[in-house]
Amino acid sequence: MTVFSRRTARRAAPEGRAASRRPSALARVTARAVVPVAAVGGLAGLSLAAPAVTAAAPAAAHLTSARVVPAIGHPVLNKTLTAPIPTTQCQAQLGIACYSPLQYRVAYNLNPLYKGGITGAGRTIVIVDSFGSPTIANDLHVFDQQWGFPDPDLQVMKFGNVPAFDPTDSTMVGWAEETTLDVEYAHSIAPGAKIVLAETPVAEVEGTSGLPEMMNAEKSLIDRGIGDVITQSFGATENTFPGFDSGNFSSLLNLRYAFKDALAHGVTVLASSGDDGATDAESDATTLYPFRVNSWPSTDPLVTSVGGTMLNLDNSGNRLSPDVVWNDGFGAGGGGLSGVFKRPVYQIGVTKEVGKQRGTPDISMSSAVDGGAWVYYSFVNPASPWHIFGGTSEASPIFSGIVALADQVAHHRLGLLNPGLYVMGALSQHVGGTGIVDVTSGNNSFGGVTGFDAGTGYDLASGWGTIDAAKFVPALARLG
């Protein structure tokens, strides 16, 4: 993930600048080299720097200094684009695929829902990020104009004394990037839903730092009746919480009050599963554990863990091949067993895969950097405002939009999804109509740590797989 405490979006850091490491897996590709933009429309700022990245940043995919990042395949030329370019041009000019929210709408079969009036109207998505972004309202407006989306009802709420944005502070920049990814992609999937952005004053890092402020913000919103689904593109490796090595998990368990409150109020809580495959960052947030670990809040039984896949789409969003587990050298979908939580009741049917522990992820969505999402922001380098991001920090907000759609269909909050999701997963192996699409290829080995293979049914690389929204949304609403 990123630095997010880990779930930030992954992004390749701009020349020479280390990506901060705390959001989930924010992977951003920045490019350099003048490229003709014929038939692309306006100037798009795409910064694509060679993947010489170090620490991860916010929940989008972040690369650690200990991670070996392959070259993108082309010399790093100075590229300046004024608008997003098609997938085939990204592949030819940048060496990676890039996708727009319009392509995701086709890939996940969302358009039939929109045509039927299912847009997330009447529902509210809560996004929680350290610091936030100073330009989020304007950036979302420009993003919407680019893709023909309506501007949403966006409310920014500050919890505590959030410091003023400093464009020279790499940590704040990383969180602003994460914030932008979260808001733009939750909105693009559920264009009719209200977005509440909760900004907190302390950066979330490994261990408990920043997490109390985030949990307090979530509980405050829940108690005020604000929000139907909460998306979290951040996380901290369980092993970095004080007391973990001695078997004392109280420092982590004492932070669960917001999730217990969400359960009591029927609010759905999501979290990115991570961007370092079956491992994750140590306390320094720059090196990876040399063995399998997992991260919280993704591992919490009261949270739906959203893992990562890699899509192969044409310029219109049609699949050219089935999705596979995200593992493209920039990062890999987080997944594995919790060192804190025992297997919840809803995972009894997958005991063969999880044993006696809580296993993650539960479901997966697009996260690859090679197949990253176009994001617009202007808080730094406004002349080059378009960027490509990946990481499970992308997957969680995308799935939050799916949940908002299902809430609208159900006419109420769906609350904890996992019991129903696991019923749907089991049914999907025998009957159709659930909208769960099995991901059976790939693995999440990463950073020298052997991970887990995808296979038929549930696995610790992709969970139950991914979704066909036109079927999944109404099926989830029925079970809720």
Q: Which residues contact 247 (CB under 8 A, 6 or more apart)?
A: none
- Give me the mean pLDDT over the 142-155 stretch: 97
Tens-digit pLDDT profile for residues 295-328: 999 999 999 999 999 999 999 999 999 999 999 9
Distance of CA 384 to the CA centre of its chain: 23
Tens-digit pLDDT profile for residues 192-240: 999 999 999 999 888 888 999 999 999 999 999 999 999 999 999 999 9
Reported confidence tier of residue 480, pLDDT bands at 50, 70, 90? confident
Asked if residue 77 is part of any domain, the answer here is yes
Length of the chain: 480
Asked if residue 1 is part of any domain, the answer here is no
Decide: residue 117, CB within 10 A, 0-12 exposed, 13-18 middle, 19+ buried. Answer: exposed
- What pLDDT was estimated at residue 73? 32
Asked if residue 346 is part of any domain, the answer here is yes
- Give me the mean pLDDT over the 350-367 stretch: 98
Mean pLDDT of the chain: 86
Q: What is the CATH number of the domain that holds 71?
A: 3.40.50.200
Tens-digit pLDDT profile for residues 394-417: 999 999 999 999 999 999 999 999
- 10 Å Cβ neighbour count for 82? 17
Of the candidates 301, 295, 272, 455, the one whose C-alpha atom is nearest the C-alpha of residue 365 is 272
* d(C-alpha 300, C-alpha 345), whole Å: 13
Which is higher by pLDDT, 23 or 159?
159
88, 305 contact by CB (below 8 A): no
Of the candidates 282, 175, 271, the one whose C-alpha atom is nearest the C-alpha of residue 238 is 282
Asked if residue 2 is part of any domain, the answer here is no
Structure tokens at 332: 């890999």
Angle between helix 418-428 and helix 469-479 axes, rounded to 10 deg? 130
Tens-digit pLDDT profile for residues 2-37: 333 333 445 443 332 233 334 544 444 443 222 322
Q: Is the peptide bond before 101 cis (omega within 30 degrees of 0)?
A: no
Q: Which residues contact 395 (CB under 8 A, 6 or more apart)?
A: 272, 273, 306, 307, 308, 309, 364, 365, 366, 367
Residue 78 has pLDDT above 50, yes or no: no
- Give me the mean pLDDT over the 123-152 stretch: 97
Reported confidence tier of residue 384, pLDDT bands at 50, 70, 90? confident
* d(C-alpha 141, C-alpha 122), whole Å: 20
Angle between helix 257-265 and helix 211-223 axes, rounded to 10 deg? 20
Tens-digit pLDDT profile for residues 408-455: 999 999 999 999 999 999 999 988 889 999 999 999 999 999 999 999
- Give me the mean pLDDT over the 139-166 stretch: 97
Angle between helix 392-410 and helix 469-479 axes, rounded to 10 deg? 60
Residue 1 has pLDDT above 80, yes or no: no
The secondary structure element, H or E, covering residue 425 is helix 418-428
* d(C-alpha 304, C-alpha 416), whole Å: 8
Asked if residue 441 is part of any domain, the answer here is yes
Write the DSSP assignment of 202-240 as a string of letters. S---STTTTHHHHHHHHHHHHHTT--SEEEE-B-EEGGG
Of the candidates 263, 403, 298, 310, the one whose C-alpha atom is nearest the C-alpha of residue 59 is 298
Residue 112 sits in which domain range? Answer: 7-479
Asked if residue 420 is part of any domain, the answer here is yes
One-letter amino acid of 6: R
Q: What DSSP state is assigned to residue 168?
A: T
Reported confidence tier of residue 81, pLDDT bands at 50, 70, 90? low
Tens-digit pLDDT profile for residues 102-124: 999 999 999 999 999 999 999 99
Residue 44 has pLDDT above 60, yes or no: no
SS3 at position 329: coil
Which is higher by pLDDT, 470 or 80?
470
Reported confidence tier of residue 265, pLDDT bands at 50, 70, 90? very high
Residue 351 has pLDDT above 50, yes or no: yes
Q: Is the peptide bond before 212 cis (omega within 30 degrees of 0)?
A: no
181, 60 contact by CB (below 8 A): yes
Residue 77 has pLDDT above 90, yes or no: no
401, 312 contact by CB (below 8 A): no
DSSP bridge pairs for 296:
236
- For the whole model, what pTM was predicted? 0.88
Which residues in 356-372 are b (16+ Cβ under 10 Å) and which e?
A: ebbbbbbbbbbbbbbbb
- What pLDDT was estimated at residue 150? 96
| Count of domains forming the chain | 1
